[in-house]
Every structure is written in C-alpha cells, then in structure tokens.
Amino acid sequence: MTMDKREGRGKDTLALILLETLTECRSQGTLNGAEVPSILLETPKHEGQGDFATTLALSLAKIEKKSPQEIARALVAGLENKWCWPGSKTSWIEKIEIAGPGYINFFLSADYWLQTLLDIHSQQADFGRFQSPKPQKIQIEFVSANPTGPLHVASGRAAALGDALARLLEAVGHRVDREYYLNDMGAQMTLLGRSTYLRYRELFGEALALPEGSYQGQYIIEIAEAIKKSAGDRYLQGPESEHLPFFTQYSFETIISWIKKDISDFGVDFNHWFSEKEIHEKKEVLEGSEVSKALALLKSKKMLYSKDGATWIATTQFGDDKDRVVIRSNGALTYFASDIAYHRNKFERGYDRLINIWGADHHGYVPRVKAAAVAMGYKSERLTVLIHQLVNLLRDGKAVKMSKRAGSFVTLREVMNEVGVDATRFFFLMRRSDTTLDFDLELAKKASSENPVYYVQYAYARLCSITRVAEGKKVDVGAVIRETKIEDLVPLSLPEEQALIKQLAQYPDLVRSAAEALEPHRLTFYLQTLAGMLHRYYFNCRIITDDQAQTKARLVLISAIRIVLKNGLDILGISAPEQM
C-alpha cells in the first residue's frame, strides 16, 4: 500500500501502519500466520466507539488459529510505538481500545483533527486529490445521442454524469479522455434527410403525408426553412433521390452544431467526436476498414460461424444469452458489427479501461458487448458499462408536458435556460445513475434552503462574505492562515467545531471511494451535509468576536470549509459563486 503525499492523513495511513504492525508481530513470533487479509477501517456509527474501528483481529482468527481477543491484544501492543504520525513528533492516537469479541477502536487526538485544517490550507485545490499508485489511461464515452434532434433531458443526465465522473477520476490521478460517438450513417440518417426534404416541399404549398417514423418536431421545420431561405426552390426539381444526400448532410450538420453548443454551454468538453463512418472507411488502399479488421480478429480466434446464410459471433461462450448476427444473409453488416469494431478501435488506442455510459434502453445490450470484447481477447474488467435511468421532469409535483420544439421530449437546452446550468448539473447528480430521477423545475429555481444546489453554493458565498467582513475590520485573513500553528487552533473546542473538522477530514476518503465506485453522486450528499453543518454553526456561533485568538482560529476553520466546498463543486463541474 502506497500513500501519496497529497492523500493527507486518514484510513489509508492507519491501514498501512496496521499492516506494518502485523508483519512485525509475525516476525517477533507473537503472531504466526502468513496470509494477509484486507484491512478494513470503518467510522463507527455510535459515539464512544472511537474515530476508526477495524475487525482485523476477527478476520485473522482462522489464519492465526488464535482468539480474536488475543490477536487484538498483540496488535495493540505492537501499535504502542507507532502513536506518532509518520514524520511528526505529535501524538495522533489518543488511545486504542479492544471492544466486544475483538474489535479494535482508535480514538484520535485533538492534534490529529486540528492538523487537518493546516493540511487543507497547505494543499488548497489539491486537498482531496492524489496520484494513484497505478494511474490508468481511461476513456469515458457518454451522451452519444443520435444526431437526429436536439439533446433531451436524459442525455443531459448522461452529460453531467460522464463529465463529473471524468473529473472525479482525474482527481485521483488517472488520465481521462471524454468521447462522443456519432451514429452518422445508416437508415436513421436517411430518414432524417427525408423528413427535412418533405418539410421543405411543404413550405412551397405541397400537401404531403410524412411516412411513419419520420422526425416531426418543430426543429425539422426550422431546418427546412433555413434551406428554403438560402436555396429558394432549387430542390423542387428532379427526383428525391438526387436531393436526399444534401438534405441528410445539411440536417446532420445543423443538429450537430446545436448539440455541440448545448454540450459546451453545459460545461462539457469532449476530447473526441468519433464518427461511425470512421469504422467503415478504409484508412489506406491496402488496409481494410475497422469493421473488417475486427471481424478478421474474431475469425482468427474461431469466434465466428455461419448459419442460415448469415455470419454469427459466439457470444454465448462469454455470458450472452444468445449468439448474435454480425453479417446478415444479404451481406449487410449489423449495427452490432459496427459496435464491436468501435470497441476494438478504442482498446487499440491504448486505453487501460473503457467506461460507457448508456441510457436505460441499452440495458440488454451490455452482456453482448462485454462478451464481444472478451471474444476479441480483451479482459472483461477493462470494459465497464454504466446505465443511467430516466428523468421525470416535474413542475409542482406534476409531470411536465412535451416540448413544443422537439415534439416528443423536453430538451436539455430548455431546462438549462429555465433553471441554469449549475442547478441542472447538481440535480442530475443527486441520485445514483441507475435510479430514476425526479427533477422538480420549480424547486431548482428557488433561492432558498429547500434548493440543494443553492444551499451548497450559498454556504460558500456566506464564507466569502465573512472573510470580506473580517478584512473590513483590518484582519489580514491570509496572514492569519499563513502564521497559524496547531496550538493556535486549540480554541476550536465546541462540539460543532469538532464535528465540522471531522467532516472535512473525511473528504479525501470520500473522493477516493466515490472514484473507485464510479459514483459522483456521493459528492452531492457530502457537500449538502457539510453545507448544513456550516449553516447551523454560523447561526449558533459568531465567527468574528472580541476574542482575538478565537476569531483567528474560527477564520482558519471557515476558510478550510470554503476550500473543501469549492474543491467538491469543481469536481462536479459546478461554480462556487462568492456572492449570491
């Protein structure tokens, strides 16, 4: 276990010390086992049970062939010489207790918790960030909505999730690329072009019946009107087939420009917009397309077979419920063939891990894609698929009607325009991605404590205001922070202050665990909890008082809270306004 210098102080360091102690006990003969179990540390739920607790002694009982109590006593005895923080002369463990059948409870000293504030101020924006001992090159592919209409709210949830997840993984030391996969070919694109073409003809007075499945939102009429404005009646003459390529490409480029604008305004910056056409194009005269190379790879591994005139991939060998067709009996490639080639292309670009974020309607697609990846020779754990569920837009508890412009859905742009980018992102990130999200538009606009994003941002703005007040009273807050030593923080003795400091100390572990679980929503819960604690503290305790020592200590505390609030909001891609 390796601790990066920016990890600060927490469970990992204590786990490392426990591991060292276990090794020493075995070398000295007080313990005799060889196997090393996982060392888990938890924060007890009940006061009086310590700051951290471990069940290590219980998990070692079978290995050591001793009672958990005996093992716990050996470990505690070995820990007695390690009560100082590595590199420090300050004791950081106040006491260690053995409880129940063999739990080991650690009570950390006041100095330990006060040191947290100094760590936050020394690390600033780096507090909570660290360099993973095994950094990975990761690609997250998300949104990837078909370019046949404006982005809807479900795509917005995917955008918030994907970008926040990328920021979270970057915070723990990984290199992350963001990618949007454009399905820019096939029947859907032809249908888009034909829908625009028919609307264009209607603008000249023709009464036409749009085919079933046509795109019929107001945005199609807007595109047709733009073509009429620039080209007049140029496309009324000649057969439809002659004009469809133009209408398809014009419609595609228009919609993509809308999508890119929405994505940019939403605070997401994709490293790559990958065209499906790239999968089917030959890179060189003597080199086949990405699809042909992927199918050749599968053929070389004997993963393809023929049946009923079609070519199948044997995905059932790797967990799929049935084998899948990659080439139809008429020689046409299936969409799955393109998807296989796309994933091979991503792996071959050197990514250690791929993360796909897909909508709820793709849930059944996951096993076949993972099976195809394994069939090509890639390890299953290198591909993760996250499913995000639907978004129910509500206004005063009632479902919002469909968009007039999009026709069948409400667009992301409409929600952003109504409630703002910050509120939209925060609300999208408030729940686990695999649960349905109820998004109350009226609540998202409220400037009150009922609105969670306002509640958190106002906490940050309130702290900035306190700092300005202090500086207005000729207190150099920056100098106070620079000159503060651990003994200057002793006045922070109130239960509310101790609780706030312990909450701040949890932040690095929270970032790490959220990154490991791929769950950025954990940050929204943490920030709301921290903001609530701060608001209550503010109402119960004056920060700037006649007691100079107390005032300086409290300014150090609230400045640390401000740093952590901003760091958390940054990972979520949400602003931290200094005034509200």
DSSP assignment of 126-145 equals: GTT----SS--EEEEE----
Listed as own residue / partner, the contacts of 475-481 with beta carbons closer than 8 Å and 24 or more positions apart are 475/544, 475/551, 475/552, 475/555, 477/555, 477/559, 480/552, 480/555, 480/556, 481/121, 481/555, 481/556, 481/559
Mean pLDDT by 10 residues, the chain (580 residues): 41 83 92 86 84 92 93 90 56 85 90 92 95 94 95 96 98 98 93 96 91 89 97 94 96 98 98 94 67 95 96 96 96 94 97 97 93 97 96 91 74 96 98 95 94 97 97 94 95 96 94 96 98 97 95 98 98 96
- Say how far apart CA 255 and CA 549 lie, in whole Å: 61
What CATH number should be reported for the domain holding residue 12?
3.30.1360.70
Nearest to 181 by CA among 357, 324, 333, 362: 357
Closest CA to 510 of 107, 114, 128: 128
Residue where a domain terminates, one of 66, 82, 108? 108
Closest C-alpha to 33, from 75, 2, 74, 61: 61
pLDDT value, residue 82: 67
CATH code, domain carrying 506: 1.10.730.10
Last residue of a domain, one of 55, 86, 108: 108
> For residue 171, what are its two tokens?
């915070």
Residue 143 lies in a domain: no
Considering the domain boundaries, does residue 339 fall inside one?
no
Question: Which pTM does this prediction carry?
Answer: 0.91
pLDDT at position 406 is: 65
Residue 235: inside a domain, yes or no? yes
Same domain, 104 and 193: no
Structure confidence at residue 4 (pLDDT): 37
Do residue 462 and residue 563 come from a single domain? Answer: yes
Give the span between the Cα atoms of 120 and 506, in whole angstroms.
12
Domain that holds residue 472: 452-572
Domain closes at, from 90, 108, 126: 108
Q: Tell me 391's DSSP state.
A: E
How many angstroms separate the CA atoms of 508 and 21, rounded? 24
Assigned domain for 397 exists:
no
Gap between the Cα atoms of 500 and 504, Å rounded: 6
| CB contact at 8 A, 63 and 37 | yes
* pLDDT (0 to 100) of residue 124: 96
Residue 251 belongs to a domain: yes
Q: How far is CA 170 from the centre of its chain?
A: 10
Q: Which two tokens stand for residue 319?
A: 């967990």
Pairwise CA distance, residues 157 & 503, whole Å: 28
Residue 362 has what DSSP assignment?
G
CA distance 92 to 82: 9
Domain presence at residue 61: yes
User: Does residue 271 form part of some domain?
Assistant: no
∠219-149-142 over CA atoms, to 5°? 155
User: For the chain, how many structural domains are there in total?
Assistant: 3
Can you tell me which residue has the tokens 């941002």?
457
The C-alpha atoms of residue 348 and residue 351 are separated, in whole angstroms, by 7
How high is the pLDDT of residue 6? 33
Residue 288 lies in a domain: no
pLDDT of residue 88: 52
Report the distance separating Cα 51 and Cα 535, nearest Å: 24
